[in-house]
Structure 1
Amino acid sequence: LQRRIGVLIFEFRNFLDCLDGVVFRARIKNLRYKSYRGNSGYYIDGITDVLGGTCLIVGCLLHFFKQRPLRSITHKTNQTLSTRMSRSSDNESEEADLIILNLDDEQKQQSTNGINSNTFETKTRIIIALSLFSVQYALAGMFWNREVEAYEDLLDSYINQSRRQGLQMTILHSPLTILMFYLWRYLSAINVQDYLIFAILFDRTWEFIQKINKIGCLCLLITVFVTELHIDQIRSILHLF
């Protein structure tokens, strides 16, 4: 119950974070979705985002220290099987039967003796996993701001030439540009944060962090590389006209 209440409070914080930009644009009577970099509100919003993300990571760390997640032992069992079966090539069937019996005995012994401390993740592994996730989280936010600023300067800036304006609209609605926007829609820092919130809601936080540490960083780096190539291509096309 406390976990779900915390998720609702943090989501309400995200709602207010998204609302402040709408209120600011309404006050200056600007209906365009544009980031106004350089003013005090922009930096205050960035600082609050950093503080919110830091509190979220620290909360996960304290939760894992209080209730350490179980360690996956599947790979250890498979390694034990392969090691034992490679010892004898003459009587493989008999050895396999003995291995199965030994594994059954070990599982029964663990169930009778209870869960020992070796079945939990160590604090060092927890810190490393959360540190890797934090780096990916920070990189997603940093590159998101960089790419959005680049696209705004190239495709959303006013140009006093009808031909270049038409070219801007053509590039903006091209399938490749739409693909880039959709990739960043799912890989931006705010969405990574939402994924973590949903994992916390359904009590799958450790599994989510392990999975995203394996594939998330690679997907982010590939997206950044492709986006930089796309931005350079747009810049070269616009400079020709």
Structure 2
Amino acid sequence: MLSLSYSSLAIVLCATAGHLVSAHTQLYNVAIGTTSYKRGEYIQPVVGPYLNPVANFTTNEIRCRNTNGASPQTPYLSVKAGSEFSVVWHRSSDSPSDNMVAPSHRGPCMIYMGKVEKNPDDIKWFKIYELGFNKDTDKWCSDVARDNHGRVDVVIPKDIEDGKYLLRTELLALHRANHVWGAQFYPNCVQLDVSGSSNKFLDPPPEFVEFPGAYKSDDPGILYKYWQDKGMNYVIPGPKVYPPTKPN
């Protein structure tokens, strides 16, 4: 029978923990066109281990992997409404060889915006991007982003109001989502100063949500039989994307 000393067991546990953390991810860069900005410039700092997911989405950490709204230490990046904006996930460097997340951590990507309020509990969030599972390619958003070295391109909506916003990026890993609290959330926030908008929302306006509050433990996109369903009937959690896609 194999036995381990306390010191040997500690080494094994540390190695296992290190392997698990190396599978996780963070928002590492944002970009406007060819100009890139690294973590620490306009991306908010994370409280605690910066690669760890948020398991309990009923806490304030689900907002940005911290408990705050706007960070006074983080400057705002000026962006034009209607312009393309890119987010890039990595683990520890912005090298193309530093994959954004382990291949086993598959799932959807979601991006929200919320106008900055003095009280972070008052921020109303709306979703501007989502990508789940593509049956034709057998790929989740995490696969698509990994193929693109962690990068996802979105458009800052034109039909919003000028002002200071938090742009909230989120990866959701589903490999353990078959039980309650098994889904792994990886949110991060960028501070933006938006100008050049129409200064009004379309009709109908966005479907606003709160964090925490937007997700429930039994949402079909959160409590999900990943290994059985394999994406075939997956429903992305949260509100509808704004602005709505125009019919062809």
Whether TM exceeds 0.5 here: the answer is no
**Higher percent of residues as helix:** 1
The structure having more radius of gyration, on CA atoms, is 1
**Higher percent of residues as strand:** 2
Q: TM-score under structure 2 normalisation?
A: 0.28
Q: TM-score under structure 1 normalisation?
A: 0.28
